[in-house]
Amino acid sequence: MHDLIILGGSAAGVTAAIYAARRQLDIKLIAGDIGGEIATTDIIENYPGYVKVGGLELAEKFKEQLKYNNVSVDEGWLAKKIEKKDNYFVVTAKNFSDKEKTYETKTVIVATGVHPRHLGVPGEKELFHRGVTYCAVCDAPLFKNKIVAVVGGGNSALESALMLGEIAAQVFFLNRNPQFKGEAVLIEKVKKHSKITVLTRATTQKILGEKSVTGVEYEDAAGQTQQITVNGIFVHVGWEPNADFIDLVKKNTKGEIMVDQNSATDVPGIFAAGDVTDTAYKQIIVAAGMGATAALSAVNFLNKK
């Protein structure tokens, strides 16, 4: 029987594990990989202690700190369900081969993060991994000296466009809104980049191609249908919470787990932290802070039992 099971290996989960380990709890961290979406980020410039750090580098630092604190990690496993028993919980996880294992624990912290939202347009699903991608860090090198499109308007899309601007021959940036929603520093860099063509009020309607992506169809500001020829399309239109596996706790209409100021859910003993929750600000540093809060709240909960 564990004192605490932590689900998720990004900033929230790793921070929770470090804090819980230092309180000498019997813990287990379960994650598909350490770093999560952070590992798919090219450059991070707003994390204290680093003027500039690559996402993969920061993920490696997470691993080092987990090892330093002797945190037991089951990597390559994803949460499948959480069941409540009399005074404990049973967590079921599965690996990428669909093998399952179960864990018994007194408390749980859900820090499973998010996954990319899909456009939901024709051609997106059919051409996934054949020119359609959701990760510039993973796939940008495949499009060296080629023409690509980026769809979105927030920080992820801006960062993707800037990275691709250094690799691709040309980048078309399709933003369905009249304004960007990201950081001003990133917006200015995109606007000044010679290889990036910004198209605002451009609503993606269809991804073209048979064996691979050959173009994208969109509706322009005048309501006219336009097409551009591209070899790849990078989709960054938001995130969906990884919370479908848990039905015990209350969620909002977006499917995010609802928590109070102590990162507690409406089920005593289950806490949640990071982007999987209804926190207004989906930032690495915010997730880390919530992870610490969740761990300390779990400690307090256990001390009262």
The SS3 call for residue 219 is strand
* 138 in catalytic set: yes
Number of other CB atoms surrounding residue 295 within 10 Å: 31
Phi, psi (degrees; rounded to nearest 5) at 191: -65, -30
**Distance (Å, rounded) from C-alpha 275 to C-alpha 112?**
8
**Marked catalytic residue, from 26, 33, 74, 139:** 139
Nearest CA among 136, 183, 54 for reference residue 191:
183
99, with CB counted inside 10 A (0-12, 13-18, 19+), is: exposed
Catalytic annotation present for 33: no
Torsion of the alpha carbons at 264, 8, 83 and 19, rounded to the nearest 10: -50
User: Concatenated DSSP letters for 62-77?
Assistant: HHHHHHHTT--EEETE
End-to-end CA distance of the chain: 15
Catalytic residue list contains 247: no
Coil, strand or helix at 99:
coil
Residue in 3, 42, 138, 275 annotated catalytic: 138
Residues classed as catalytic: 135, 138-139
